[in-house]
Amino acid sequence: MCFDVVANTLDIDKLLTKNTTNKPLLIFFHMDYCLYCLKMKNITLKNHKITTKIKKSFIFVYLNVDHVKKVKYKNTIVSNKSFLKKFDINLYPTVIFVSPEDDLLYTARGFRNSEKFLKILKFIETKSYEDLDFYAFDD
């Protein structure tokens, strides 16, 4: 799992410079007092199959909106609120997948158990979003 927060600024650019294999960005947006966020962080995201798949196929970022005040992304430092607005984040937890070209690939709003989250990871990893929506993939 990977995140880089210095002085309340999350430097996503620094993480992306290590992205030599063009992995998609996976950002987990959460809050301290959100019970479903804690459940997803402490159960779903600690599942061995999930951590293995994330390490292999994604650049993973925890973004705690209660602590991160600024985000550096694409050589621009913006407020946390501007970054949330860019990706239409208004419910927690939310997970987004962003291509190296900055295209939003998929958004998962709300808690996902390990089984469902593994399917989402596979959907992105296999680039099935190019031909199917997730519900067709999930059948």
- pLDDT by residue for the chain (139 residues), tens only, comes to 444 444 577 888 887 777 677 899 999 999 989 999 999 999 999 999 999 999 999 999 989 888 888 898 888 999 889 999 999 999 999 999 999 888 999 999 999 999 999 999 999 999 999 999 998 987 6
pLDDT of residue 5: 47
Strand order in the sheet with 59-64: 59-64, 25-30, 94-98, 104-109
Residue spans per domain, the chain: 5-138
Beta-strand ranges (E) seen in 56-130 are 59-64, 70-73, 76-79, 94-98, 104-109
CATH number 3.30.70.270 given to 5-138: no
